[in-house]
């Protein structure tokens, strides 16, 4: 019976071939499951593999052909027909045999919310439905061209699939990557000294996507980065949460007197700077001084970021995807630190069986790649016409200022002119000065007691937000406001100083006009913060001069400056005044994301720029 149906179908298709002039204006490209059958009917039995059904965007018609296959857009990619599914009704019940193009955020709900509407009914539960990431192709007669897209689509396992009410099945031209030997997704993870971020690209697109914004829990703000911290269960060292969520959960445990059951570790990346005894048995301390295996901290941080990546990219851990992972490291790190990070990545599960999908790239080189990319795409200032042959990369982050001198040889090789330099002159140095003010007012014992309370992390967040607010202010005069744990601080001040905080502040000639207490808010004179930033800026200038002396060359006339702290107008003005003849390049709009974006570009094309000895694919 099945053979008879196939024969009728073949005859029907032959009739369509002879009436092609009419059919040309009214055809529907076959679904994937019907394509082979259509090819046998439309073409001869000897050339079904050369069948193509393409949409001509100039003539607004679909054209079938047997004389040539669709052009290869790049190695491992070709045009294919695919079915796209769009759910208009949102009445799909995943417990009754429905599958989703994009998995619902909450798999326990029968009916997903509107954002999760992408379902279709699949009666063949034993057949795997794979989601693929493609680019859209356009047929411009007589040749084909590409248009980048980020569409997710799936191919039904059988054309007998029953679709839910309101779902439309569409056909379109796609550029489908080969499932072997090609990188479909590049994911870069940048674990910074104070904050972390990841970014990814799909199907070699230069459209780099950042992770979903993190809810800071402070002032209702969101951030592309999250603090480099992790909360672990004390007994099992099992990860509970990372970043802002870890801070909030730990604060809650402190309030509930349950903090002893957990380990809160933050700014742990600093432990690897200059350390010579790095090994799998290395120990670091949590916020209370309890020893924690460093390898557990780093590997769990990577693992938690990996899980978040997988939640944002549907089926990213599927065998149908080839994921290239990229980790960034500072140029000043030792080889032992680099090897340690690779071990942590392996434990986190981001290294495949072939051991060939992990790259480790130096942060300064990632920044160079990103600037090179912006220059090539004419996204830098018009006065910057070519990439410099010798330059400094100055990465001003939260914890450190990392400075590297680079030169590019005539063969295009990127070299370090001298040993990289890094110190603790980052954004957190400003926070420390403000905390020192409070300690100067109330004494060291009060601050030490405050550090043991959940409010302390909240206070640190508020202090950090003050720096961000200052960067956004056009005027550097006036007062900035932050939440203040006044009730707790009053109790500690009465215990250790014999009077409340307001009384202490009133008697301070140095700070009584710089700090103003209004209810449970502390208002801080902007000029005081500017003074703190200026001091750190001066230290950064000295660090830069030190590297220039080590480089032993007068040919460095360009600085590439990245990192979130470089957003500060005070920092930029100080650098301009200290180095008036130097061309200073800031990536427009995203100085704090240049490293992670450059790492994605490097993962897409390791030959983008020939690297120093450290940047390599570790195999």
More confident residue, 539 or 62: 539
Question: Average pLDDT in the 497-522 region?
Answer: 89
Flag the least confident range among 107-116, 334-343, 360-369: 107-116
pLDDT at 171 over 70: no
pLDDT in tens, 341-384: 999 999 998 886 666 789 999 999 999 999 988 888 778 887 78
Flag the least confident range among 41-55, 96-110, 487-501: 96-110
Residue 175 CA to residue 72 CA, distance in Å, equals 8
Outline where DSSP puts E strands in 305-423: 323-329, 358-362, 390-396, 401-408, 414-416, 421-423
Flag the least confident range among 103-112, 216-225, 391-400: 103-112
- State the pLDDT at residue 600: 93
Instruction: Give, in order, the Cα–Cα distances in Å from 303 to each of 240, 243, 278, 351.
Output: 11, 13, 20, 11
Q: What percent of the chain has pLDDT over 90?
A: 30
More confident residue, 245 or 411: 245
pLDDT at 162 over 70: no
Question: Average pLDDT in the 515-522 region?
Answer: 86
Question: Average pLDDT in the 211-235 region?
Answer: 83
pLDDT level of residue 191 (50, 70, 90 thresholds): very high
More confident residue, 449 or 79: 449
Residue 49 CA to residue 52 CA, distance in Å, equals 9
pLDDT level of residue 120 (50, 70, 90 thresholds): very low
Which of 3.90.1150.30, 3.30.420.40, 1.10.600.10, 3.90.25.10 is the CATH number of 185-358? 3.30.420.40
Question: Average pLDDT in the 262-286 region?
Answer: 87
pLDDT at 274 over 80: no
Question: What is the Cβ-side half-sphere exposure of residue 587, based on CA atoms within 13 angstroms?
Answer: 27
Question: Average pLDDT in the 207-214 region?
Answer: 84
pLDDT level of residue 460 (50, 70, 90 thresholds): confident
- State the pLDDT at residue 173: 35
pLDDT at 54 over 80: no
Q: What percent of the chain has pLDDT over 70?
A: 66
- State the pLDDT at residue 190: 96
CB 391 within 8 A of CB 406: yes
The average confidence (pLDDT) of the chain is: 73
pLDDT in tens, 6-31: 444 444 444 333 333 333 333 566 76
Flag the least confident range among 181-185, 233-237, 307-311, 523-527: 181-185
pLDDT level of residue 283 (50, 70, 90 thresholds): very high
pLDDT in tens, 565-576: 999 999 999 999
Question: Average pLDDT in the 516-526 region?
Answer: 87
Give the tokens for residue 508.
């301070």
pLDDT level of residue 608 (50, 70, 90 thresholds): low
pLDDT at 57 over 60: no
Query: Rounded to the nearest 5 degrees, what angle is found at the Cα of 139, between the Cα atoms of 315 and 100?
Result: 20
pLDDT level of residue 503 (50, 70, 90 thresholds): very high
Residues in the chain: 619
More confident residue, 486 or 81: 486
pLDDT level of residue 487 (50, 70, 90 thresholds): confident
Give the tokens for residue 517.
């207490």
Outline where DSSP puts E strands in 471-514: 479-483
Domain edges within the chain: 2-177, 185-358, 371-426+539-617, 428-531
- State the pLDDT at residue 387: 84
Residue 605 CA to residue 619 CA, distance in Å, equals 17
pLDDT level of residue 256 (50, 70, 90 thresholds): confident
pLDDT at 412 over 90: no
pLDDT at 139 over 60: no
- State the pLDDT at residue 441: 92
pLDDT at 130 over 80: no
Q: Which residues contact 239 (CB under 8 A, 6 or more apart)?
A: 230, 231, 232, 300, 301, 303, 304
pLDDT at 175 over 60: no
Residue 213 CA to residue 67 CA, distance in Å, equals 49
Please state the CATH superfamily assignment of the domain spanning residues 371-426+539-617 in this structure.
ATPase, nucleotide binding domain (3.30.420.40)
pLDDT at 546 over 90: yes
One fold for 185-358 and 371-426+539-617: yes
């Amino acid at each position: 019976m099945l053979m008879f149906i196939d024969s009728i179908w073949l005859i029907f298709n032959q009739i369509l071939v002879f009436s092609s002039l009419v059919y040309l204006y009214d055809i529907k490209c076959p679904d994937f499951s019907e394509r082979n059958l259509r090819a046998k009917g439309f073409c001869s039995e000897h050339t079904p593999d050369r069948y193509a059904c393409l949409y001509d965007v100039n003539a607004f018609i679909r054209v079938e052909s047997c004389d040539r296959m669709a052009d290869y857009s790049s190695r491992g990619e070709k045009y294919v027909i695919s079915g796209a599914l769009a759910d208009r009704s949102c009445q799909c019940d995943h417990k009754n045999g429905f599958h989703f193009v994009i998995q619902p955020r909450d798999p326990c709900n029968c009916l997903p919310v509107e954002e999760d509407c992408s379902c279709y009914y699949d009666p063949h539960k034993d057949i795997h439905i794979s989601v693929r990431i493609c680019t859209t192709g356009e047929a411009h007669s007589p040749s084909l061209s590409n248009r980048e897209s980020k569409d997710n689509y799936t191919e039904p396992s059988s054309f007998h699939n029953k679709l839910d009410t309101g779902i439309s099945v569409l056909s379109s031209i796609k550029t489908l990557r080969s499932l072997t030997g090609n990188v479909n997704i590049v994911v870069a993870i940048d674990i910074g000294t104070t904050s972390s971020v990841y970014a990814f690209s799909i199907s070699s697109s230069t459209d780099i996507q950042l992770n979903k914004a993190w809810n800071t829990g402070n002032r209702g703000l969101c951030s592309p980065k999250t603090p480099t911290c992790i909360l672990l269960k004390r007994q099992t060292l099992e990860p509970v949460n990372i970043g802002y969520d870890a801070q909030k959960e730990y604060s809650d445990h402190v309030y509930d007197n349950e903090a002893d059951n957990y380990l809160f570790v933050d700014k742990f990346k600093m432990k690897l700077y200059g350390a010579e005894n790095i090994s799998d048995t290395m120990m670091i301390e949590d916020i209370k001084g309890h020893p924690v295996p460093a390898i557990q901290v780093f590997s769990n941080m990577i693992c938690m970021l990996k899980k978040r990546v997988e939640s944002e990219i549907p089926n990213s851990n599927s065998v149908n995807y080839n994921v290239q992972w990229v980790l960034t490291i500072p140029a000043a790190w030792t080889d032992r630190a680099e090897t340690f990070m690779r071990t942590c990545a392996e434990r986190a599960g981001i290294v495949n069986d072939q051991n060939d999908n992990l790259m480790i790239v130096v942060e300064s080189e990632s920044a160079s790649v990103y600037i090179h990319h912006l220059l090539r795409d004419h996204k830098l200032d018009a006065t910057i016409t070519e990439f410099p042959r010798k330059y400094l990369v100055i990465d001003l982050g939260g914890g450190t200022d990392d400075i590297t001198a680079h030169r590019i040889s005539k063969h295009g090789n990127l070299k370090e002119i001298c040993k990289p330099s890094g110190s603790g002159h980052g954004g957190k140095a400003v926070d420390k000065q403000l905390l020192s003010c409070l300690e100067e007012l109330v004494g060291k014992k009060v601050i030490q007691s405050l550090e043991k309370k959940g409010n302390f992390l909240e206070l640190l967040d508020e202090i950090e937000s003050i720096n961000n607010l200052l960067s956004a202010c056009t005027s550097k005069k006036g007062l900035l406001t932050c939440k203040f744990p006044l009730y707790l601080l009053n109790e500690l001040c009465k215990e250790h100083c014999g009077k409340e905080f307001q009384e202490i502040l009133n008697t301070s000639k140095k700070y009584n006009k710089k700090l103003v207490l209004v209810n449970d808010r502390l208002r801080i004179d902007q000029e005081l913060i500017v003074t703190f930033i200026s001091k750190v800026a001066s230290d950064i200038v000295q660090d830069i001069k030190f590297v220039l002396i080590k480089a032993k060359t007068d040919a460095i006339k360009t600085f590439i400056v990245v990192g979130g702290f470089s957003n500060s107008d005070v920092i930029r003005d100080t650098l301009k005044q200290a180095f008036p003849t130097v061309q200073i390049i800031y990536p427009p709009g995203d100085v704090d994301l240049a490293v992670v974006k450059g790492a994605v570009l490097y993962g897409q094309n390791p030959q983008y720029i020939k690297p120093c000895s450290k940047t390599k694919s570790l195999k």
